[in-house]
Structure formats: C-alpha cells, structure tokens
Amino acid sequence: MLEYSFIPVEDLSLEQLSDPDYAIKQIDKININNFEITVCSKCHHCR
Amino acid sequence: MVINSDVLGDFYVQWHITNKCNLRCKHCYQEDYTTDNELSFEEFKIVFNKVSTTLHKWNKLGDFSITGGEPFLHPQIFEVLNIVNSSEDVSRLDILTNGIFITQEIIDRLKQFNKLRYIQISLDGSCPQVHDEIRGLGSFYKALHAIRLLIENNVEVRVMFTLQHFNMFDVPSIIDLCIKEHISGITIERIIPNGDKDRFSPEAIHMIFKYISDRSDEEYAKGTALKILKYRPLWINIDPCRAKIGMNTPIHKDLGGLCSAGLDGICILPNADVLACRRLPIPIGNLQVDTLEKIWFQSKFLWDIRDKTYLKGKCHSCEYSLRCGGCRSMAYAYTGDYLEEDPHCWKELNSNNTK
C-alpha cells in the first residue's frame, strides 16, 4: 500500500471543500456530448 | 443538469468488515486473511457514527454494501447490520457474500432488516468444474443452495461474476443459469490481474462485451427478468447512442457509467483505511484518524482521478470520457499509473482526437 496525502485547505475553493457533489457537477458542466451522467455505484460492485 | 438522480442523492459505502474468509479464490486481491487489525465492534460503532454524521450534514443517504472477506464470518455481523439498518442516514443495505454460510436461520434473522435490498453472491462459473476451480472444492453447490434458499424466501439475489481466462467461455452458461434460477441481476466484471496472469487483450474484451450486450438485448426482448448490468467503464463503446440524454434507455439496455471512485462513494477496509475503490490499493485516509470530510474534500488522490483532463493516453482525448473514463484500477494494475488509459479499451480514436 502507498501512503496517502492531503491537499492543504488554502489550495482548494470553498465549493471544493463543502460540496460533496462538486466533482460530478463539474463533469456535468462540460458535458458537451450530451451524455446522461451516471456512475457504476448504480449497479455495484467491485468485489 | 443531466446527472442521474441516484448519483446526487446517495453516497455509496462498500464496507469490508472483516478480512477473514473461508475461501481462497484464485483472483482474490486480499493478502491478509487475519483479524489482527480489525476494528472492534465498539470501534466500528464510532467510525459508523462518524460516517453517518457526515452524510447527514451533506444531506445524503448512505447506500451500504457490507462485505468482507466473508461477512458472515464476522462474529457480530447481525449487530453490524442492525447499526446500519437502524440509521436514519442510511437508505439501502446490501450484503456481498460467497453464500456458503447462508442457512434458513440466517435468512430468518436477515428478514428483520427492512433496508436490505438484496444479497449479492459471487458465482464465477455455471458449474462446479469452473466455479470450484476458482473458489474451492464444493463451493459451487453451496452457493447455489444459498441462492435457491434466498429466492424461496423472497430475498432478492444478484450475482457477481469475475471474468477471467479460465471462465470466459462460461459467460453464456452463467447467464443461462441466472435466468433459470430467477436471479434478478448479474454483473460481469473484468478481473484485476495480479502480475502477468489473466491479462486480456482489448479485442478479447470487446468480443466478450459485445456478446453480453447482444445477449442482454435478446433477453430483454423476450421479457426475461434478469438484468445484465453494464454501468461500468468501456461499455459505452458498444453503442454510445444509448447513453445520450433523452433516450430513456431501459436499464436492461443501458450502457456505460463512470467509475464511482471519487464521485459518489468510498470503500472502507476492516481497519478503517479508506480506498477510492477496493480494487485500487491506494489508501486515501483512515476513518479512525481522519474525518470523512477531510478525506473526501482534501485527498490528493481523489482530486487527481476526478479531473478527467488528467487522464492519459486514449482516455485523455476520448469523447466518451464523461460517461466512461476507463477503469483506474485496471490502468494501475497494468502500468502502475492510475491515470493511464484503460488497457482493455478497444476504441479507435478519431483522427482529430490527438493527445
């Protein structure tokens, strides 16, 4: 296993530090190909 | 906004409550089968409370999968399930198991959990000759017995089939078996290779995925209840039109999906280490030490994989990256770089797609 690291809060925006859906909303914003955005957790599982 | 409503409402937690397992499957990614570093039940409750408090703050409901190792080997499995089921911050609960310990008595106890949506049983072959070779002698009929008992008791069953060289020709038969046994859904997922063994070519994966997709369409047309689930990277390559907004493609025919890693879920190990995905052995924090908020908002690894412009190779310039993005754990297993292209992708890039 590798070691983990955190980004200092001062390097992140308020939205990045407070909205758990920030990343997927950013993906939706640049969705020029008009795909319905979905993720694999809708079916499961990586077991 | 065209984000599937499930994605924004729920937060997926795959919690491996124990490393202990009665099987030693050939493709298993675990190295440790001991209970040495597992949380005690008291510690589990503290960590669970930490997670549920954060979900509450985020206005999200937890979608929990309890697994292991083999979860039914955890000495307090029912207490664990009760904690999860009783939380107002949890909407759904599943159990991922090899099925071997499921008895009528266990099922009767499981019936108290009103949020239990289904039991997922791992079946890596449609017969003992295939399944037992991967999972151990006698395991096929025990798993099949569990499936039948659960279905007799009106408990929904899904199957997970890990695609590897040894069972690739058994894909048609496992689908036949699932239909015959009234299983509600099957996920056929690529093995994460350990070393050079079980590496597939893109052509082989294309051939297998195309068969599964065609078979899924055929079964849907016949009205078969079995859902062959294909919400994973690469599947969109079969037919991108089905992923477009407004197509209202039924679940049986829907193709593709981003990996949930970094977007709407986490994986927790028995010692409270957190991974973005169980198959990607890169810890991003530990919930005994760090808060879920710190891990989710500040993990460098998570921000790396969230930004699809960081992806390399074919994935970098692919027009499907917002509905695919490749499997980061597959890229890591093949290259040691989790941002590399998915090594199984068979898509040819258009001439104007340059790096």
| Residues near B239 by beta carbon (within 8 Å), at least 6 away in sequence | B213, B255
pTM: 0.94
Q: Which of B207, B215, B252, B216 is nearest to B234 (CA)?
A: B207
Instruction: Decide if pLDDT at B168 tops 90.
Output: yes
Q: CA torsion sign, A47 to B2 to B8 to B9?
A: negative
Across the interface, do B63 and A41 touch by the CB < 8 Å criterion?
yes
pLDDT at A31: 85
Q: Does B185 touch chain A (CB under 8 A)?
A: yes
Percent residues over pLDDT 90 in chain B? 85
Q: Does A13 touch chain B (CB under 8 A)?
A: no
CA distances for B348 relative to B202, B314, B319, angstroms: 11, 9, 11
Interface probe with A: pick from B23, B92, B187, most Cβ of A within 10 Å: B187
Q: Does B278 touch chain A (CB under 8 A)?
A: yes
Chain A residues closer than 8 Å to B189 by CB: 46
Chain A residues closer than 8 Å to B263 by CB: 23-24, 27, 39
pLDDT category at A46 given cuts 50, 70, 90 is: very low
DSSP codes, B180-235: HTT-SEEEEEE---STTTTPPPHHHHHHHHHHHHHHHHHHHHHT---EEE--STTG
Pairing of strands B273-275, B265-268: antiparallel
State the average pLDDT over residues B80-105: 97
| Dist. CA B81–CA B85, nearest whole Å | 6
Q: ipTM value of the model?
A: 0.89
| Dist. CA B287–CA B43, nearest whole Å | 10
Across the interface, do B296 and A33 touch by the CB < 8 Å criterion?
no
Q: Does A27 touch chain B (CB under 8 A)?
A: yes
pLDDT at B71: 98
Q: Does B57 touch chain A (CB under 8 A)?
A: no
Tens of pLDDT, residue by residue over B293-342, are 999 999 999 999 999 999 999 999 999 998 999 999 999 999 999 999 99
Tens of pLDDT, residue by residue over B269-289, are 999 999 999 999 999 999 999
Percent residues over pLDDT 70 in chain B? 96
Report chain B's mean pLDDT, rounded to a whole number. Answer: 94
Across the interface, do B231 and A40 touch by the CB < 8 Å criterion?
yes
State the average pLDDT over residues B53-76: 97
